[in-house]
Amino acid sequence: MDPKSASNLSFILNKPHDVTYAERPVPETKDPHDVLIAINHTGICGSDVHYWEHGAIGHFVVKEPMVLGHESAGTVVSVGSAVTTLKAGDRVALEPGYPCRRCGPCLAGKYNLCPDMRFAATPPYHGTLTGFWAAPADFCYKLPDNVSTQEGAMIEPLAVAVHIARQAAISPGQSVVVMGAGPVGLLCAAVAKAFGATKVCSVDIVESKLEFAKGFASTHTYVSQRVAAEDNARNIKELIGCPGGADVVIDASGAEPSIQASLHTVRMGGTYLQGGMGKADITFPIMAMCLKEVTCKGSFRYGAGDYRLAVDLVAAGRVDVKKLISETVPFQKAEDAFKKVKEGQVIKIVIAGPNEKE
């Protein structure tokens, strides 16, 4: 694809619920280690919808027009003079955050915690709902022939789930409970199963989500009730046949009642992993955490090796991300896609790039 003749139409957020489509200059690859990519497909993340609806996430505020999107896959158009791992025509999944590579967290191998991270569609940086994208070659992951670019767009949320599972150190034979059956929660269940967990229970308040979970990766499902956290936890432990509690409990919802139930669901000496983001401050059952000597960890985005493992899991058929894609829509219907996600009409919707025929 020739960038000089192709479109670089972009989906731009001006302010909440105010978006425009506009041609932007094709980005330049100024660094010899960079590559230029034609975007084929982009998934919609909850954070994209949050910016579209509110214009901010925490202290990240949209002050100037910003291109949305960060879950993307595309085709390499050109490579810098120092790039040896990719060539024009290669299809790649894009890791959308670029660290400084020099700070303490970066040098410690935790580049996802870099304070100078440049992350797509996080103010002030533009996102990937556009025609062309420039990126460091080492943050582009070649897709095997049996993985489509629609699946490639799903590598980003899958990498989030991989990071969560690795943070929780899930191992074969364990029991895992996942609070929340949204896209990341479903993928956490799938990765837990791929890591060898023999019992994987998805918990949610929406029965239709749990019906999907049953056919996707979960061995058990539980509809959370409007009862005390201890009662929901007791019901879950009885359901999965673990009266002492689950080895690992992951919260992928960010909901306070789910977090509270999680600490009562995990076993003595087990692991609790916070993956979902909700209110900044909640009432937390600290006594349960202490008395059971629970290992509690947070998880943020993805780090070294997570993206590559995510690609391998899809290529090997260990996680079937195609099942999560409800619909692929043309670029010109991006705003309609955002509305569908907000209304809960889809699990995951993918937007074709502006130069895609489908």
Structural domains of the chain, count: 2
The answer to whether residues 327 and 292 belong to one domain is no
Domain of residue 249, CATH code: 3.40.50.720
**312 found inside a domain:** no
Domain of residue 106, CATH code: 3.90.180.10
Residue numbers of the domain that contains 163: 159-298
pLDDT over 70 (residue 147):
yes
The answer to whether residues 58 and 147 belong to one domain is yes
Within 13 Å of residue 168, how many CA atoms lie on the same side as its CB? 34
**69 found inside a domain:** yes
DSSP class of 226: S
Q: What secondary structure, in 3-state letters, does 287-309 show?
A: HHHHHCCCEEEECCCCCCCHHHH
Neighbours of 300 (CB within 10 A): 15
Q: Is the peptide bond before 105 cis (omega within 30 degrees of 0)?
A: no
Nearest Cα to Cα of residue 326 among 353, 347, 340: 347
**315 found inside a domain:** no
Range with lowest mean pLDDT among 3-17, 247-261, 303-317: 3-17
What is the signed CA dihedral for 315, 316, 319, 320, rounded to 10 degrees? 60
Range with lowest mean pLDDT among 51-65, 96-110, 132-146, 316-330: 51-65
Structure tokens at 126: 């533009």
The bridge status of strand 348-352 relative to strand 325-329 is parallel
Q: What is the pLDDT of residues 215-273, one digit of tens each?
A: 999 999 999 999 999 999 999 999 999 999 999 999 999 999 999 999 999 999 999 99
**307 found inside a domain:** no
The answer to whether residues 140 and 168 belong to one domain is no
The answer to whether residues 271 and 337 belong to one domain is no
The answer to whether residues 148 and 164 belong to one domain is no
The answer to whether residues 16 and 143 belong to one domain is yes
**Amino acid at site 343:** E
**19 found inside a domain:** yes
Q: What is the pLDDT of residues 24-61, one digit of tens each?
A: 999 999 899 999 999 999 999 989 999 999 999 888 99
| pLDDT over 90, % of the chain | 94
The answer to whether residues 16 and 145 belong to one domain is yes
Nearest Cα to Cα of residue 16 among 44, 45, 55: 55
**358 found inside a domain:** no
The answer to whether residues 184 and 255 belong to one domain is yes
> In the structure, what pLDDT confidence band is assigned to residue 358 with cuts at 50, 70 and 90?
low
Structure tokens at 180: 């929340």
Using only the alpha carbons of the chain, give its radius of gyration: 20
Model confidence, pTM: 0.96
DSSP helix/strand/coil, 298: strand
Arithmetic mean of pLDDT over the chain: 96
> In the structure, what pLDDT confidence band is assigned to residue 278 with cuts at 50, 70 and 90?
confident
